[in-house]
Structure 1
Amino acid sequence: MTSSMDTPPNRRAPWWFNLTGHLLEPWLKLRRDPAEPAALLKAGVPVCYVIERDGLSDALILERACREAGLPSPMQPLAGTRRRRSVFALGRSDGLLWGRNRQRSPKDALGQLARALEDDPSRDVQIVPVSIYVGRAPSRDSGWFRVLFSENWVMVGHFRRLLALLLNGRDTVVQFSAPVSLREALAEAGAIAPERFARKIARVLRVHFRRIRAAVIGPDLSHKRTVVDAVLNAEPVRAAISATASKEKISHAKAWRRAQKLMLEIAADYSHPVVRSASFVLSNFWNKLYDGIAMHHFDKARAAAPGYEVVYVPSHRSHADYLLMSYQLHHSGVVVPHIAAGANLNLPVIGPILRRGGAFFLRRSFKGNALYSVVFNEYVAQLIDRGVPMEYFIEGGRSRTGRLLAPRAGMLAMTVRAFLRAPRRPVLFQPVYIGYEKLMEGKSYAGELSGKPKEKESLIGLLKGLKVLRQRYGHVALNFGEPIELTPLLDVASAQWRESSGDPDAKPEWLSGVVDRLAQQIQVNINRAADVNPINLLALALLATPKHAMAEADLLAQLELSKTLLEALPYSDRVTLTPLDPAAIIAYGEQMGWIRRVAHPLGDVLVADDEQAVLLSYFRNNVLHLTATAAWVACCFLNNRRMSRSSVIRLGKLIYPFIQGELFLPWDSEGFGQQLQATIDFFVRRGLLESTGEGRVLERGPGQDDAAYQLKVIGRSLIQAFERYYITLAALAKNGPHTLTAAELENACTLTAQRLSLLSEQAAPEFFDKALFRGFIQKLRERKVVWTDDAGKLDYDSALEDMVRDARVILAREVRHSILKITPGGEDRQEADRDDEEAVRLAAPHDATPPDASPADLHARHVEAAHRAHLHEPVEPVAPAAPTDAQRPD
């Protein structure tokens, strides 16, 4: 690697250096990155290494890494110069425990090299930055004391470095960066003095090492005080402090102390030793709780992250979410993000630990406290400006139903505004789907949905909750979805968005639209990365039966159909599906305690008991969006034997905006129509539907048919959503226009659903969830189906009457009548019986002339009523003068 004419005598390293290296060798195990760094170097050009910190240990590690990689030794003289060694350090450490970073050496070395190149223009030297990390990734078997001496940002002294080597030396990483031609750098710098050139190169090298260290062990936020001071000295915060002092007539010093107190309440106090210690503890904790934690598509997320400010936006289903995400990221060699946590988790003992693990705390509401709002916004801006990865849950709280909640875009808005203020580093939002097979909070969720008040978090409650360690919770999946770049969204919203940069108070009119679209896309991408586990599939099948029971043969067939459907019509390329076959899925469900087997001479029956069935609804809702298209097609045949293909698709497109808003589906109206076509074709191939009339007419078999039974199980997974929609429409129509406010309608719908659940078969807890009714009412307003008059009451036109009529194609007559009877309000204006014929006409095929009903067709209705007794499906009686099969609800 050196020029032959200038190669100095081969001077060996001092005897004591070689002796120390031999003594230290058993304690060191090196991992080079890249594995073959020699490929980075230019042949024939002298090599000079630069390391971040001076010290004997780093020199020994570098010398051994170079020897093992076949690189020139750093201990030999540098060819063509007067330097006795081919290495220099950016800083020196003094002291036994903690060191002081002195920066004279690099400028002296670089100045000396620059002068050597000036003396001989034909010479060049390639500078190779080498980063050395001792104890970056202790193994799961590493002791607690070893973790405390892992690599961090603190400049340690000789004794602490020795302890780190003895404890963690076998986990040492030596990272070689691409070489820099000193000749080329000198040419680019122009005619400047060697001393000035040396300062410039030293500054560039320091920035380089800081970036590498930040990527490997995270940003330097070990001292909370530095961030606190930066926030309190920011112009927006200083202005807010002055405004508070003026408004409340208090001294500026008192207002400043209040801001400081708020900042200390909010800010994380990130500690690398605590993070590494927590990783060590959690590895044992997860082993007690879970049978395995899987990450899917993480390699894609890691590849997309470099160069971006990464914001992780996972689904929120359990308190374990934060810990699982941080643990898995740290275990995979990625920087642990700073996590926005609710102030309710800032408990004694627990709060400080979470804070040192990267949690920063926010209150549920910022209303009435302008100073708090400004301080918090500035803190988020500081994190983004420093390149700190963040994590927050845009649902605002844990989902109690298993569905994704409507997003609350407060943190998203703060992130976007912080980026607009200083768009130095592009922002990338990384959606993550977190899937469980059993939840620690399952019973409390069911209680809250049933009306019990939410228990406030407390240290005593946490200690009581340790009993969860006695149970096993199956497997957990973290699926990384398609990332979302912020810049393209801004480009679409406004070509001039960069003009608002630098103004911390800028709120352009297009900002709210960007934040809303971003929030929706995050939820869509989370759902597009769903993991379908065995419990999800069991819940989809068993909860579609009123008694939550199925014959084993039927359950095996239904599980096989569900898996085949998800494989044949993939929702997205990031959805993952359990590899277990149907028999293994049933066995696993029994092992987990979700279902029990009832032996019977005619064939075993698998049952989910009432309490388990309520909890299983959570896991059905996790993946309900994956089967929404199939469920809609199947719903069309719950009460109809025949429908035209065009009617199924037309009605599907009408109802789609409401299903899309509830389940965060990814298609537009035309895309959903194409999915419906593909699903219908799948059902025809499987024999669940028969296509006649050149594909224009669809028909299912009679109720006693196995294919019809499978179709009904699929359809019933979504039927309660349509019942909720009908309750809302019926309440509006029954009370009339200009009668109810949106809040009154929401309350009336909730009460109706609660009563209907008590009077009929047991419904899932979310059936009377106010949030779902609120979302549907909001979607009606967005679609201009209803609107608010001057008095704040809801008004509507004939479009609502059309929706009520269309709903009758899907819902059974008994369900419709029960809803109309229970719903509070005036006389029923709809007269359901009067419109039944119109609803049937809409569902019937218009392009085929079916034969008249035969006695066998009429008899099939009565046979269907007796078949599948455990389904308890209501079947409408057949009048003697019944219409033809094509026109009759079945």
Structure 2
Amino acid sequence: MSADPHVHVARSPWWFKLLGRLLEPWVRIKRDPAEPTTLLKSGAAVCYAIERDGASDALILERACREAGLPSPMQLLELPGRRRRSVFSLSRRHGWLFGRTDARGPKEPIGQLIRALEDDPQRDIQVVPVSIYVGRAPNRESGWFSVLFAENWLVVGRFRRMLALLLNGRDTVVHFSAPVSLRSVLADSNGLSPERLTRKIARVLRTHFRRIRAAVIGPDLSHRRTVVDAVLNTEPVRDAIAATASKENITLAKAQRRARDFALEIAADYSHPVVRSTSFLLSNFWNKLYDGIAMHHFDKARAAAPGHEVVYVPCHRSHTDYLLLSYQLHYSGVVPPHIAAGVNLNLPGVGPILRRGGAFFLRRSFKGNAMYSVVFNEYLAQLVDRGVPLEYFIEGGRSRTGRLLAPRAGMLAMTLRAFLRAPRRPVLFQPVYIGYEKLMEGKSYAGELSGKPKEKESLLGLIRGLKVLRQRYGHVTLNFGEPILLTPMLDAVAPDWRVTTAEHDAKPEWMSHLVDDLAERIQVNINRAADVNPINLLALALLATPKHAMAENDLLAQIELTKSLFQELPYSDRVTITPMNPQGIVAYGEQMGWIRRVRHPLGDVLVTEGEQAVLLSYFRNNVLHLNAAAAWVAACFLNNRRMSRSSVLRLGKLIYPFIQGELFLPWDQDGFANEVQETIEFFVRRGILESSSEGRVLERGPGQDDGAYQLRVIARSMLQAFERYYIAIAALVKNGPHTMSSGELETACTLTAQRLGLLNELSAPEFFDKALFRGFIQKLREVKVVWTDEAGKLDFSDALEDMVRDARVILAREVRHSILKITPGGENERDLDARPPDDPGETSAESLHDRHVANEETRHKHPL
């Protein structure tokens, strides 16, 4: 392929050909990229650089080049004073069984190549770095023994390499990197002597091969004790040891032992053989548990990762989250991350395996233990400094409701501080959405939300929980969201951050705001990568009916409408939607046991009952954010036949901050208004709403109309959220200002919601989730509608009472009266639903808005 006259085709030695034929049945090569010929530059000779010396690597390279149509590494290059093969290695190996390396290997051939270019200014040679991995990830059919001889960081002897080829040769990866033009390197050398230039090229090649190997099989981590020693030798830890010894009046040696114990309790003990062995086991485990695991947008994530410190930040819905993500990354050729795990998972027999798989453990709280906090911070800083990929869950725990939880940003803050101290690699946060069709922990979640105490993790509990493995859990989807780069966020909030002090305890004023913004953006990007599976669509439809039952025709129509809505008005380009049609979705729901068919002569009815309905609410909540704009528009027509478009938009902007805070929506208020406009147009196109008066007035059909029925189903997916908002506002206004603290208001709201749920047989435990009321109250503070007085009690503006009146648009009178009747009131109690003196009386919410629309129509006809 080369036009260089200094390249000569030569035959391989007879022994080389013989070894190649003997090796051929045992080796199956996967090239990366599949067509490496596209990397080469025409007209320049090719010389290959491989990482390790050895006949097997040369044979594999020769065969890969031959199969790809590349120039052979066996061809001869004409160099000053001699000819040599078109391949060289970075290390030479001596010895038969165990091998001994000589790192001086590349200097001689690189020097010869440089001298050849100096003798002939018209000549160029392109060096192609080629990485060869034998048995990077043996599959589940390979056998346990294969795992022991899989690729790692050790330079092994010829005997061990031969065993690796025999056992794992069918899983051989040959990675071709972009060629390096030696002529260009020579031109940019700025007069370096040939000797120094040779050393520089060798050093660059070593760095390149280490980077590729780290990406493929994981970083070359030192022994756990070495990392622990590095942590203990940092200045912050030494200071903490001295402070503890002085404060507690103990010896320095005793304080040092305590710090070492903390570090050993925390630190991972990453082991490549254990990771591969666990991967081998998990492949069987997943096949027995799930019907399939899908990943979307992974190629985008992999393309963005090189050169960055990658921090995976998935949603947390099950104990299998971190196992699934690590397994899929390893299976896809990416090093699994080190995972922050709660110390409650450090169980006998289980903890050591997790630790060797990359888990490092942290306590739930650092309060009252300054030394532990310092040791943990320094350990995390060591991982960031070494470029170890990380994974942690910023929700702080598994979601029991199916929604994303309010973030706990402690790990984000520690990561940011570690980067600021040593900004060697830019940090990239990679959000990951994990979607299930059935959860192993589903029943325990429902119990906890209903008031049962959380069971503490234990070995006995783990053994008892193995019975869940008898079930099938459908499909799992991992969607990689849009990555978030830390550096641009730092540049935006603090342009001079690079000169910020590198002290370990530095806390710039802007850091807290940046961490909160980062946490919010991560949650938003997780939601922007949601997967809509068949169970999500069934849950959205069936749980919006009073008896959790629908006629089959209605259910099929509702699923088709929701799916069309998500497809025509995409939430983001990373949202994925099941390809199943409505009939297939219903059949799949029956097969999974989520719904039951009731036969009837007038048409079958599909129903979900009892515990299944409660568990199904989890999967509705997974995708509730995708339905937010549509649910708001539909809710406006629950109790109103007609409504002005401007009213839908105005009230939508008022309520949006609270929906956004609960569901981590991506828009600002104007962006949400645009979403609402597009949703209205979608409903108009589908004939569900009618537009009149030049688009200013919207009207739905009568209550018995199919379109009105579909609107009610869509609206009810968010109706409980609006009812929760009303409970909180009503409790506050009913009791009056300066009477309740935030904690007292949370308790009052939770008790009111629980009682309302009992009276109405609600099947959604998250309706009385205290955390959701806490988030709503916090959002009221942020928009400055509510604030705390000097005595710690809540005060509020008149806008809060306006919000109570606006609730008439959405909530039916009987719902408002039920909430007001149940909500406890103090000595300032008042009738919130009382009409002002000039109000002639509300016959119905519908008639109220008919009058509003009529007035608006008159105003447009007669502007004066």
- What range describes the TM-score normalised by the shorter chain of this pair? over 0.9
8 A contact 1:643–1:844 mirrored in 2: yes
Cα distance in structure 1, aligned partners of 2:551 and 2:184: 78
Deviations 1:89-129 (CA, angstroms, capped at 9, x unpaired): 22234556644432133234444555566666666554332
Letter in structure 2 aligned against 1:256: Q
Q: What is the count of residue pairs matched by the alignment?
A: 851
Match of 1:509, SS state, is: coil
Aligned to 1:711: 711
8 A contact 1:693–1:848 mirrored in 2: no
Cα distance in structure 1, aligned partners of 2:529 and 2:50: 42
Aligned to 1:206: 206
Cα distance in structure 2, aligned partners of 1:186 and 1:419: 35
Cα distance in structure 1, aligned partners of 2:303 and 2:120: 43
Aligned to 2:831: 830
Letter in structure 1 aligned against 2:722: F
Matches within 5 A, 1:96-115: 98-114=98-114
8 A contact 1:552–1:606 mirrored in 2: yes
User: Are residues 737 and 42 of structure 1, via their aligned partners in 2, closer, same or farther at CA, if it must alter by over 3 Å?
Assistant: closer
8 A contact 1:696–1:847 mirrored in 2: no
Structure 2 residue 854 is the aligned partner of structure 1 residue 848: yes
User: Are residues 573 and 228 of structure 1, via their aligned partners in 2, closer, same or farther at CA, if it must alter by over 3 Å?
Assistant: same
Aligned to 2:381: 381
Aligned to 1:258: 258
User: Are residues 7 and 395 of structure 1, via their aligned partners in 2, closer, same or farther at CA, if it must alter by over 3 Å?
Assistant: closer
Letter in structure 1 aligned against 2:606: L
Match of 2:131, SS state, is: strand
CA drift at 1:337: 1.4
Cα distance in structure 1, aligned partners of 2:856 and 2:131: 79
Matches within 5 A, 1:567-606: 567-606=567-606
CA drift at 1:617: 0.7
Cα distance in structure 2, aligned partners of 1:690 and 1:65: 65
Cα distance in structure 1, aligned partners of 2:715 and 2:71: 71
Aligned to 2:862: none
Bigger shift: residues 316-325 or 820-829? 820-829
User: Are residues 323 and 97 of structure 1, via their aligned partners in 2, closer, same or farther at CA, if it must alter by over 3 Å?
Assistant: farther
Scaled by the length of structure 1, the TM-score of the pair is 0.91
User: Are residues 355 and 831 of structure 1, via their aligned partners in 2, closer, same or farther at CA, if it must alter by over 3 Å?
Assistant: closer
Match of 2:102, SS state, is: coil
User: Are residues 832 and 206 of structure 1, via their aligned partners in 2, closer, same or farther at CA, if it must alter by over 3 Å?
Assistant: same
Match of 2:361, SS state, is: strand
Match of 1:832, SS state, is: coil
Letter in structure 1 aligned against 2:344: N
8 A contact 1:690–1:698 mirrored in 2: yes
CA drift at 1:184: 4.5
Aligned to 1:131: 131
Aligned to 2:60: 61
8 A contact 1:37–1:176 mirrored in 2: yes
Match of 2:293, SS state, is: strand
Cα distance in structure 2, aligned partners of 1:617 and 1:442: 10
User: Are residues 375 and 100 of structure 1, via their aligned partners in 2, closer, same or farther at CA, if it must alter by over 3 Å?
Assistant: farther
Cα distance in structure 2, aligned partners of 1:806 and 1:586: 38
Match of 1:678, SS state, is: helix
8 A contact 1:294–1:476 mirrored in 2: yes
8 A contact 1:543–1:617 mirrored in 2: yes
User: Are residues 417 and 388 of structure 1, via their aligned partners in 2, closer, same or farther at CA, if it must alter by over 3 Å?
Assistant: same
Aligned to 1:329: 329
CA drift at 1:303: 2.3
Aligned to 2:753: 753
Letter in structure 1 aligned against 2:15: W
Cα distance in structure 2, aligned partners of 1:271 and 1:357: 6
CA drift at 1:439: 0.5
Letter in structure 2 aligned against 1:628: A
Cα distance in structure 2, aligned partners of 1:43 and 1:579: 45
CA drift at 1:428: 1.6
Cα distance in structure 2, aligned partners of 1:753 and 1:512: 33
Cα distance in structure 2, aligned partners of 1:578 and 1:741: 46
8 A contact 1:222–1:269 mirrored in 2: no
Aligned to 2:31: 32
Task: Give me the CA root mean square deviation.
Answer: 2.5
Aligned to 2:607: 607
Match of 2:715, SS state, is: helix
Aligned to 1:762: 762
CA drift at 1:163: 0.6
Match of 1:53, SS state, is: coil
Bigger shift: residues 773-782 or 292-301? 292-301
CA drift at 1:433: 1.1
Matches within 5 A, 1:421-820: 421-500=421-500, 502-820=502-820
Match of 1:329, SS state, is: helix
CA drift at 1:779: 0.8
Matches within 5 A, 1:141-220: 141-190=141-190, 194-220=194-220
Deviations 1:48-79 (CA, angstroms, capped at 9, x unpaired): 43321122222322333344445554445541
Aligned to 1:298: 298
Letter in structure 1 aligned against 2:831: Q
CA drift at 1:362: 1.3
8 A contact 1:98–1:160 mirrored in 2: yes
Bigger shift: residues 222-231 or 283-292? 222-231
For structure 2, the residue ranges without an aligned partner over 5 or more in a row are 858-864
User: Are residues 93 and 790 of structure 1, via their aligned partners in 2, closer, same or farther at CA, if it must alter by over 3 Å?
Assistant: same
Cα distance in structure 2, aligned partners of 1:2 and 1:587: 60
CA drift at 1:391: 1.3
Bigger shift: residues 492-501 or 404-413? 492-501
Scaled by the length of structure 2, the TM-score of the pair is 0.93
Cα distance in structure 1, aligned partners of 2:787 and 2:217: 54
Cα distance in structure 2, aligned partners of 1:698 and 1:66: 68
8 A contact 2:641–2:850 mirrored in 1: no
CA drift at 1:431: 1.2
Letter in structure 1 aligned against 2:469: L
Match of 1:270, SS state, is: coil
Letter in structure 2 aligned against 1:104: R
Cα distance in structure 2, aligned partners of 1:76 and 1:644: 80
User: Are residues 124 and 831 of structure 1, via their aligned partners in 2, closer, same or farther at CA, if it must alter by over 3 Å?
Assistant: closer
Cα distance in structure 2, aligned partners of 1:618 and 1:7: 67
State, as a whole percentage, how many aligned pairs show the same letter: 78
Letter in structure 2 aligned against 1:492: A
User: Are residues 45 and 735 of structure 1, via their aligned partners in 2, closer, same or farther at CA, if it must alter by over 3 Å?
Assistant: closer
Aligned to 2:860: none
8 A contact 1:423–1:501 mirrored in 2: no
Cα distance in structure 2, aligned partners of 1:580 and 1:804: 42
Match of 1:848, SS state, is: helix
CA drift at 1:802: 1.0
Bigger shift: residues 164-173 or 239-248? 239-248
Letter in structure 2 aligned against 1:829: R
Cα distance in structure 1, aligned partners of 2:136 and 2:652: 54
8 A contact 2:734–2:832 mirrored in 1: no
8 A contact 1:89–1:105 mirrored in 2: yes
CA drift at 1:778: 0.7
Aligned to 1:50: 49
8 A contact 1:266–1:360 mirrored in 2: yes
Match of 1:245, SS state, is: helix
Bigger shift: residues 741-750 or 55-64? 55-64
Cα distance in structure 1, aligned partners of 2:6 and 2:586: 76
Deviations 1:775-805 (CA, angstroms, capped at 9, x unpaired): 0111111111111111111111312111111
Letter in structure 1 aligned against 2:61: L
Matches within 5 A, 1:868-883: none
User: Are residues 234 and 694 of structure 1, via their aligned partners in 2, closer, same or farther at CA, if it must alter by over 3 Å?
Assistant: same
Cα distance in structure 1, aligned partners of 2:119 and 2:568: 72
